């Protein structure tokens, strides 16, 4: 009796996931809970464990394929069973919706993913596929690659090759002409092939939604990026983005378009925190089993200041400002393969020990790709730490739909002039705040930051616990 | 520097290597007193004596087997197969013994097995074949096939100094037809390195041996039609210079694989596979093979002319591919 492996729902808002990698191959034996495949969703990258022990007998969704949640992506059977025979050739069924469930299960997943679940399927399917095929130009792998890299629709090009084939020279001269045209004429979005309309992914929808409800003045018109043309033989290596890279790229550009970013900087004296840390770190490790770092102190200060300045812990929806009652602190964690922002939920309910524990746990699991989708969602304010690599201060991009993000610069000893005109060596750091000027004014952001500064510079030992 | 033929370049390499290293010796049928069926070894018997230029019975199996044994004892034998077609008699010694010895028992077998290959000489089915693809599927063997006098000398010296068995195919059609000014002194052409014989823009022709000259002839003629061929001479067939092949294909986006051997299971199949695997999305047209048809080499002169790839056939294929 085979067990179905489904695309799990990685968070409430998630409708589909992309198979990044199959860790097991067909015929491999798997243990229960052994990692089976890697997925990437809008929210999180994760390894999906096997639901049962047995042999992976069938893989129904290939690497790179995006399928709706709960789609069967593989089957696991008891040890000793053989992969099933290939599915019997399908007869053209005019009503695929009414097909019995067993047939649906054997249908290649791609059609499940693309076919819209509409009862009027047959006429729609025809009208989608026919025009595309009718105008499809013949072309070589090289031409298709050049088209992809330059966002060119091959069908727009007159082919001079055999039977109207689009040749390398055809597309290269087309691309060169287009480059020159682009300078003088406003960019025109190229209509996508009809087939891709059915596969619009939720991430795009999610990003577009808040924009759509905004007054139009917020969003500048889309400008096509300027692209260089690379020809075979050029000394470049072209690598397609990982799903995570693509999400970061989309989110960052969208955030810059959505929010009116303004930055402000504060120099904060961390001498007292550094001393407290030195004084308590051994005891802290002994008592709580975790290392005492600067981060929880900073988190604690931010949580307290956010309590006093609720607009910094808000988001914008259309003409409304949503004040968040919970403080869910996102902490940016740099990974070898990108960046992720796990969220410490209800940070206002935690003391320094609780914040340290939560942070260490999330960061460790982020590096092992073991974060749960819920743990990267719902953040209300984000802290990032460019200082960890020595940066003096960063100007971070807001993590939408939040309205502010705080950056911590490197913490180092500096020469300081004290209030009594004496010169002293103090442990200091530049903190930056990026805030959304649509709803946060400079005065508010700066008062928030000066409160963070005040808390950090006057931290009491009794709070360490 | 002196102008020498392809054949004389081979003789020079043998003579110089025998002089350089007293472990180098020659064995084969009629190579001594008679000087070899094609006179490649002429004069060497007189120069080095019967101990180092050994006439053998008519048994390729014994020639290669004896060479393997001598190599294991520290010698550097160079075995001549009178016509490379008959190397099949030594197939077992080469594929099961020489090729595997390093892997089986950690002892390399540094032999060179050389002999004339190829058609165009009205030799018929037993004296005109190209045998490289019989051995292509045998890890442990190396194969080279020079197209110029310079390479003939340099590759043979490299083969003799190599620690593993090397099959050295010399195209008999080139023996006395090409001449070149080559250095008198010691040089080698490294095994595994191809050479671009002609730079071109439109189509890469990957080839070796006598077909290099066919490709150059076709390239010269096609130039007037605005089709610019690049000619890559592999020189080494195993290991082959993948980097040079792929670089050329990436540059031109179109490729013709040209060899004199027959088509099915021929060397071009391996090259086509590696090109499709590694630079598929740099291709602007199908990978095209120009080879002999799948039949034994005919004895009849008109049939042999029909059988062998030539500049006309290559030009026809190139015109079609250029228009694709």
| Sequence-separated (6 or more) residues with CB below 8 Å from residue A96 | A107, A115, A121
Contact call for residues A393 and A407 (beta carbons, < 8 A): yes
Quote the pLDDT of residue A194: 36
**CA distances (Å), origin B81, targets A58, B39, B87, B141:** 54, 13, 6, 16
**Looking at A102-116, B185-199, B293-307, B309-323, which range is the least confident one?**
A102-116
* Residue B86 distance to chain A (closest CA, Å): 43
The 3-state DSSP composition of chain A as helix, strand, coil percent (nearest 5) reads 40, 20, 40
* Residue A196 distance to chain B (closest CA, Å): 22
Which residue has 């480059």 as its token pair?
Answer: A179
For domain B195-323, the CATH class is alpha beta
Q: How many CB pairs under 8 A join A and B?
A: 34
pLDDT at B213 over 60: yes
Is residue A143 within 8 angstroms of chain B, CB to CB? yes
In this structure, whether the domain defined by B2-182 belongs to CATH 3.40.50.970 is answered with yes
Which residue has 């039977």 as its token pair?
Answer: A163
Cα separation of A54 and A121, whole Å?
37
Is residue B253 within 8 angstroms of chain A, CB to CB? yes
Dihedral, A300, A301, A302, A307 alpha carbons, nearest 10: 90
Higher pLDDT pick, A336 / B287: B287
Question: Do B2-182 and B195-323 fold alike per CATH?
Answer: yes
Strands B255-262 and B288-292: parallel
pLDDT at B160 over 90: yes
Tokens of B38: 């094609």
Contacts of B324 in chain A (CB under 8 A): 140, 161-162, 165, 167
| Sequence-separated (6 or more) residues with CB below 8 Å from residue A146 | A152, A168, A171, A172, A175, A229
Percentage of chain B lying above the pLDDT 70 cut: 100
Please state the rounded mean pLDDT for residues A14-25: 85
Question: Closest-CA residue in chain A for B247?
Answer: A233
Confirm whether A441 is a catalytic residue. yes
> Rounded to 5 degrees, what are φ and ψ at A71?
-70, 140
> Rounded to 5 degrees, what are φ and ψ at B231?
-115, 115
Contacts of A140 in chain B (CB under 8 A): 253, 283-285, 324
pLDDT at A120 over 80: no
Quote the pLDDT of residue A83: 53
The answer to whether the pTM exceeds 0.90 is: no
Please state the rounded mean pLDDT for residues A150-176: 87
Higher pLDDT pick, A290 / B15: B15
User: B190-211 as b/e, with b when 16 or more CB fall inside 10 Å?
Assistant: ebbbbbebbebebbbbbbbbbb
Which residue has 């746990």 as its token pair?
Answer: A361
pLDDT at A199 over 80: no
Please state the rounded mean pLDDT for residues A39-44: 76
pLDDT at A305 over 80: yes
Check CB contact under 8 Å for B281 and A162.
no
pLDDT at A442 over 60: yes
Dihedral, A259, A261, A262, A267 alpha carbons, nearest 10: 110
pLDDT bucket at A209, cuts 50 / 70 / 90: very low
Percentage of chain A lying above the pLDDT 70 cut: 76
Distance of CA B235 to the CA centre of its chain: 7
pLDDT at A465 over 70: no
Contacts of A171 in chain B (CB under 8 A): none
Contacts of A142 in chain B (CB under 8 A): 253, 281-284
pLDDT at A179 over 70: no
> Rounded to 5 degrees, what are φ and ψ at B309?
-65, 145
* Residue B273 distance to chain A (closest CA, Å): 15
| Sequence-separated (6 or more) residues with CB below 8 Å from residue B99 | B138, B139, B140, B141, B165
Confirm whether B127 is a catalytic residue. yes
pLDDT at B76 over 60: yes
Is residue B228 within 8 angstroms of chain A, CB to CB? no
Which residue has 């022990």 as its token pair?
Answer: A53
Contacts of B284 in chain A (CB under 8 A): 140, 142-143, 167-168
pLDDT bucket at A214, cuts 50 / 70 / 90: very low
Tokens of B74: 């520290």
Quote the pLDDT of residue B259: 98
Q: What is the ipTM of this complex?
A: 0.70
Quote the pLDDT of residue B34: 96
| Sequence-separated (6 or more) residues with CB below 8 Å from residue A68 | A7, A15, A16, A112, A113
Average pLDDT, chain A: 78
Higher pLDDT pick, B221 / A289: B221
So where are chain B's domains?
2-182, 195-323
């Amino acid at each position: 009796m085979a067990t179905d492996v489904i695309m799990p729902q990685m968070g409430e808002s998630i409708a589909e996931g992309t198979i990044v990698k199959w860790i097991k191959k067909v015929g491999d034996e798997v243990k229960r809970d052994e990692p089976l495949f890697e997925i990437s969703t809008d929210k999180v990258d994760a390894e999906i464990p096997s639901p049962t022990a047995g042999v992976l007998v069938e893989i129904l969704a290939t690497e790179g394929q995006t399928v709706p949640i709960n789609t069967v992506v593989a089957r696991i059977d008891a040890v000793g069973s053989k992969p099933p025979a290939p599915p019997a050739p399908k007869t053209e069924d005019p009503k695929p919706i009414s097909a019995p469930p067993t047939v649906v299960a054997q249908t290649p997943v791609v059609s499940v993913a693309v076919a819209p679940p509409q009862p009027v399927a047959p006429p729609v399917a025809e009208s989608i596929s026919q025009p595309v095929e009718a105008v499809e130009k013949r072309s070589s792998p090289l031409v298709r690659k050049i088209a992809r890299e330059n966002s060119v629709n091959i069908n727009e090009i007159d082919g001079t090759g055999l039977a109207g084939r689009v040749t390398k020279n055809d597309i290269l001269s087309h691309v060169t002409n287009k480059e020159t045209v682009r300078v003088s004429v406003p960019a025109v979005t190229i209509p996508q092939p009809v087939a891709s309309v059915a596969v619009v992914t939720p991430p795009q929808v999610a990003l577009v939604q808040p924009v759509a409800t905004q007054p139009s003045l917020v969003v500048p018109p889309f400008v096509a990026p300027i692209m260089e043309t690379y020809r075979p033989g050029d000394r470049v290596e072209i690598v397609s983005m990982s799903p995570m890279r693509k999400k970061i790229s989309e989110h960052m550009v969208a955030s810059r378009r959505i929010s009116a970013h303004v930055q402000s900087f504060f120099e904060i004296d961390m001498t007292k925190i550094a001393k407290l840390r030195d004084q308590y770190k051994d005891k802290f490790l002994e008592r709580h089993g975790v290392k005492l770092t600067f981060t929880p102190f900073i988190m604690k200060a931010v949580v307290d200041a956010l309590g006093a300045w609720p607009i910094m812990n808000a988001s914008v929806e259309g003409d409304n400002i949503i004040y968040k009652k919970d403080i869910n602190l996102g902490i940016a964690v740099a990974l070898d393969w990108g960046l992720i922002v796990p969220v410490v939920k209800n940070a206002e309910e935690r003391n320094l020990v609780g914040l340290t524990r939560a942070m260490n746990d999330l960061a460790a699991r982020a590096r092992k790709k073991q974060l749960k989708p819920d743990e990267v969602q719902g953040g209300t304010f984000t802290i990032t730490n460019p200082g960890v690599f020595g940066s003096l201060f960063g100007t971070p991009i807001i993590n939408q739909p939040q309205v502010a993000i705080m950056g911590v610069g490197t913490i180092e000893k500096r020469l300081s002039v004290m209030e009594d005109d004496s010169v002293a060596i103090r442990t200091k750091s530049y903190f930056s705040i990026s805030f959304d000027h649509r709803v946060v004014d400079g005065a508010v952001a700066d008062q928030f930051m000066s409160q963070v500064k005040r808390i950090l510079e006057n931290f009491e030992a009794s709070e360490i616990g | 520097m002196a102008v020498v033929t392809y054949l004389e370049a081979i003789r020079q390499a043998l003579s110089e290597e025998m002089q350089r290293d007293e472990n180098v010796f020659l064995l084969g049928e009629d190579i001594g007193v008679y000087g070899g069926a094609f006179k490649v070894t002429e004069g060497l018997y007189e120069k080095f004596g019967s101990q180092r230029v050994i006439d053998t019975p008519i048994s390729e199996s014994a020639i290669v087997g004896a060479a393997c044994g001598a190599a294991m004892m520290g010698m550097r034998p160079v075995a001549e197969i009178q016509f490379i077609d008959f190397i099949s008699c030594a197939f077992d010694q080469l594929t099961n013994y020489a090729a595997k010895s390093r892997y089986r028992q950690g002892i390399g077998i540094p032999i060179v097995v050389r002999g004339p290959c190829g058609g165009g000489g009205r030799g018929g089915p037993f004296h005109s074949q190209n045998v490289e693809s019989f051995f292509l599927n045998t890890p442990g063997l190396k194969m080279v096939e020079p197209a110029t006098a310079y390479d003939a000398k340099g590759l043979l010296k490299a083969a003799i100094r190599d620690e593993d068995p090397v099959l050295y195919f010399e195209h008999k059609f080139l023996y006395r037809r090409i001449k070149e000014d080559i250095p008198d002194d010691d040089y080698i052409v490294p095994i595994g390195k191809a050479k671009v014989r002609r730079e071109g823009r439109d189509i890469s022709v990957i080839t070796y041996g006598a077909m290099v000259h066919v490709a150059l002839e076709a390239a010269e003629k096609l130039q007037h039609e605005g089709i610019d061929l690049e000619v890559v001479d592999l020189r080494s067939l195993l290991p082959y210079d993948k980097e040079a092949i792929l670089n050329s294909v990436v540059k031109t986006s179109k490729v013709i694989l040209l060899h004199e051997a027959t088509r099915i299971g021929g060397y071009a199949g391996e090259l086509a596979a590696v090109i499709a695997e590694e630079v598929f999305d740099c291709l602007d047209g199908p990978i095209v093979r120009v080879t002999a048809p799948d039949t034994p080499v005919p004895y009849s002169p008109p049939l042999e002319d029909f059988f062998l790839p030539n500049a006309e056939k290559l030009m026809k294929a190139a015109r079609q591919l250029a228009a694709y």
